[in-house]
């Protein structure tokens, strides 16, 4: 079973952990391949866009990703955010929605093969 734990802050991705393996042999597990693909793509986008503000650990059967610069997650649109802050928030909103939608599609296509937990800080 694959387990994905996602933590949001102000409805934006703050961290996630993916653990486990699918229930099929290596090379034949489309659930594991799908979850790995979307998780590593999200990591790649976060690293590309936010760079040093991302910490991650990647091992066989384990991926942990965390946004370590809290300012990225604290864009208060009522206090005239800078254009860069607005852009960061939009990017993070798209990343968050893409991750959640992708994981849910995988989960719905193979019920019982993945557990997704989302909590808000």
User: What is the domain-level CATH number for residue 65?
Assistant: 3.30.70.1490
Domain count of the fold of the chain: 1
- Residues 6 or more apart whose CB falls under 8 angstroms from that of 83 comprise none
Range of the domain at 14: 2-120
Give residue 116's pLDDT: 97
Give residue 72's pLDDT: 64
Per residue in 22-37, pLDDT tens? Answer: 777 777 788 999 999 9
Contact assessment for residue 57 and residue 40, using Cβ atoms and an 8 Å cutoff? no
Can you tell me the mean pLDDT for 41-50? 95
Which of 99, 103, 119 minimizes the C-alpha distance to 2?
103
Confidence at 74, pLDDT banded by 50, 70, 90: low
Tokens of 24: 């099929």
């Amino acid at each position: 079973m694959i387990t994905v734990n996602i933590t949001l802050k102000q409805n934006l991705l703050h961290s996630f952990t993916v653990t486990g393996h699918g229930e099929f042999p290596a090379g034949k597990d489309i659930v594991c391949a799908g979850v790995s693909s979307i998780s590593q793509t999200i990591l790649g986008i976060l690293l590309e866009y936010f760079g040093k503000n991302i910490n991650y650990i990647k091992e066989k059967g384990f991926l942990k990703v965390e946004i370590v610069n809290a300012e990225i997650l604290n864009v208060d649109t009522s206090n005239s955010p800078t254009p860069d802050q607005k852009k960061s928030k939009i990017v993070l909103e798209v990343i968050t929605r893409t991750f959640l939608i992708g994981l849910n599609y995988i989960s719905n296509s193979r019920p019982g093969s993945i557990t997704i937990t989302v909590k808000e800080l």
